Chain A
Amino acid sequence: MSRAARVVFEHVSKRYPGTAEGSGAVDDLSLEVPAGTTCVLVGPSGCGKTTTLKLVNRLIEPTSGRILVGDRDVAGRDPIVLRREIGYVIQQVGLFPHQTVGQNVETVPRLLGWDSGRRRARTDELLELVGLPAARYRDRYPAALSGGERQRVGVARALAADPPVLLMDEPFGAVDPLVRERLQNELLSIQEGLAKTILFVTHDIDEAIKMGDRVAVLEGGGRLAQFGTPDEILANPASDFVARFVGADRGLKRLALARVGDLQPADVTIAHPGDSAADARARVVADPFPYLLLLYADGQPIGWIGGKDVPGDGELAESMAVSASPLLDRHTTLKDALSMLLASSVQAGIVVDRRGAYQGIVTADMITERMRPAAESRS
């Protein structure tokens, strides 16, 4: 079941009974989501995003048109079997409140009749995957989770039976921007390993640009306004509606398409607490970048010491460092990285790996430099 499957909409329309002609929830939608890629459906509230998702797993039946999952028309499939092959993260999370986190996650494996050992192993694996240590979270109830933790459990539950297709309806809608950013990055790195076919709904154009290999912009009445890669949509909006929807800052938004991981991080002078201060001072003075980065033994950054503040003798100590720069993940977009940098005093972001260990630094100059050739080639 784990092989990814494409999802195709062919002239799909859905009109709810009792609504006027031409005011469908979905209107003549045709698009193809290639296997293993993410398509983001974005548009204003009420434009038919949720309806479109529910057409795929037959929670809603289309008025006309065909939907293929893999190469098969969903209309000819048993909805129960179909739904067990499609992970669904519902808009309001919808965890079962009377069941533990573990029981929630193993819902579909249970329906599929997996034995308890296999279910347990899978649940633990998934909880770790979404960043919830199984030993701590497995036996908790949803009421005892934060909003962000619930959304992670929702994602784990959708992934449980390793479905080839995932439908995610505003999966990160209910959390603060910081947690959302983390969850987005985590989903991106999960997707790197899993290569599911994902239909992801949001009404946030920034999230759409960040998460989608392709973006489908929907406008009121469920019409497809534009379908293309994020860069195509930002570079050439197909209509006034799309241009307005993506916003006047679409040039800046293109910054959001490149990530810290696309840059080659630069090296700075580093040292560890206990190192000889005189030696460190000599190295930082010789470096054009006049700051010393102090790291723990495991590579996690402690903070910066200004080159002039490094003592001439004795040992370096943790207390000398000021934690200043933002920490950047390689999934952090250049836009976010740039704005974090503009707000920081040192003007260098510390790039860390998944464990939080130092990889290098990124400066504002490096980011603008990177965007320049792209801007020229477009004009």
Chain B
Amino acid sequence: MNLVEATIAWLADPAHWSGVSGIPARMLEHVALSGAALLIAAGIAIPIGVWIGHTGRGVALAANVANVGRALPSLAVIGIVLPITAAIDPQAGFKLYPTLVAMVILAIPPILVNTQTGVGGVDAEVVEAARAMGMWPGQVVGRVELPLAMPAIAAGLRSAAVQVIATATLGAIFGGGGLGRFLVEGIAQQDDGMIFGGVVLVAGLALAVEGAFVLGEASLRSPGLRDAAVRGAAARAA
């Protein structure tokens, strides 16, 4: 049996599609972990990115922090965080938090940088018009800067999501759940079908999420922004 056949056979086996360690359950764990990491990262990165983009302060600092974040290998982050969280909570501190923290740290840079460049890149005249019309700073952000930065922010979220989904796979090495378990167990059991089945599932999930973001962003974007001018703005932010 070759690799492709083994993978298809493993994926096709109904026994693998049920139970707490079945594909749907693992998929759910994977999505839940990734979603949580993405939400936490967005909750940190978007407000900071908006503040930096709006005020123009701390741009260089943010760029440096983001670069460091990008350069850190996820495994190194897990290695650093693991002793700390394990000391605090011997159970989840070992299995869950190190991976989660690594995912959040990885997800922050693309969201932060895109939010900041998106908000900061809104045409100065448009922002000035908003101020001149008597908007409070919060209204300038909420009614003008955020909607105009939306395509850039969505692009940041999308690339963060894909990275987070890939990183979530690592969690299984430390006893966490998710689709990574199929890789870990497949290697242990020397089951090629299971290993590559897991790989296919992770890749498929990443692609599906990417697609969902593209569609979601397109349907949320103001029709006024579906033109060449916006492609220009998105290119600046990327």
> Given the known A-B contacts A88-B129, A90-B125, A94-B129, are A99 and B134 also in contact in the complex, defined by CB atoms under 8 Å?
no
Inter-chain contacts of B139 with A (CB < 8 A): 111
A136 located at the interface, meaning its Cβ lies under 8 Å from any Cβ of chain B in the complex: no
**Inter-subunit contact B125/A92 (CB<8 Å):** yes
Q: How far is the CB of A174 from chain B (nearest CB, A)?
A: 12
For chain B, residues 136 to 163, give those with C-beta under 8 angstroms from any C-beta of chain A. Answer: 136, 139, 143-144, 147-148
B130 located at the interface, meaning its Cβ lies under 8 Å from any Cβ of chain A in the complex: yes
A354 located at the interface, meaning its Cβ lies under 8 Å from any Cβ of chain B in the complex: no
**Inter-subunit contact B133/A83 (CB<8 Å):** yes
Which of A81, A83, A108, A141 contacts B222 (CB under 8 A)?
A141
Interface flags for A93-132 (1: CB within 8 Å of B; 0: not) read 1111111100000011001000000000000000000000
Give the size of the chain B interface in residues (CB under 8 angstroms): 24
A142 located at the interface, meaning its Cβ lies under 8 Å from any Cβ of chain B in the complex: yes
**Inter-subunit contact A91/B224 (CB<8 Å):** no
Which of B133, B143, B147, B224 contacts A88 (CB under 8 A)?
B133
B221's closest neighbor in chain A, by CB?
A: A98
A57 located at the interface, meaning its Cβ lies under 8 Å from any Cβ of chain B in the complex: yes
For chain A, residues 168 to 191, give those with C-beta under 8 angstroms from any C-beta of chain B. Answer: none
Known: A80-B135, A98-B224. 8 other contacts (CB 8 A): A96-B126, A96-B143, A96-B148, A97-B126, A97-B222, A97-B224, A98-B148, A111-B133
By DSSP majority rule, is chain B's interface helix, strand, loop, or mixed? helix
**Inter-subunit contact A99/B222 (CB<8 Å):** yes
Inter-chain contacts of B230 with A (CB < 8 A): 97
Which of A81, A91, A141, A143 contacts B134 (CB under 8 A)?
A81
C-alpha spacing A235/B222, complex, angstroms = 53
> Given the known A-B contacts A92-B125, A96-B126, A143-B224, are A59 and B131 also in contact in the complex, defined by CB atoms under 8 Å?
yes
Interface flags for B12-37 (1: CB within 8 Å of A; 0: not) read 00000000000000000000000000
**Inter-subunit contact B224/A84 (CB<8 Å):** no
**Inter-subunit contact A91/B125 (CB<8 Å):** yes
C-alpha spacing A80/B139, complex, angstroms = 11
Inter-chain contacts of A93 with B (CB < 8 A): 125
B89 located at the interface, meaning its Cβ lies under 8 Å from any Cβ of chain A in the complex: no
**Inter-subunit contact B225/A98 (CB<8 Å):** yes
**Inter-subunit contact A99/B136 (CB<8 Å):** no
C-alpha spacing A98/B144, complex, angstroms = 8
Q: How far is the CB of A145 from chain B (nearest CB, A)?
A: 10
B5 located at the interface, meaning its Cβ lies under 8 Å from any Cβ of chain A in the complex: no
23 A-B pairs, CB-CB below 8 angstroms?
A57-B132, A83-B131, A83-B132, A84-B134, A90-B128, A90-B129, A90-B132, A91-B125, A92-B123, A94-B123, A96-B130, A97-B225, A97-B229, A97-B230, A98-B147, A98-B222, A98-B224, A100-B224, A111-B134, A141-B224, A142-B224, A143-B229, A157-B133
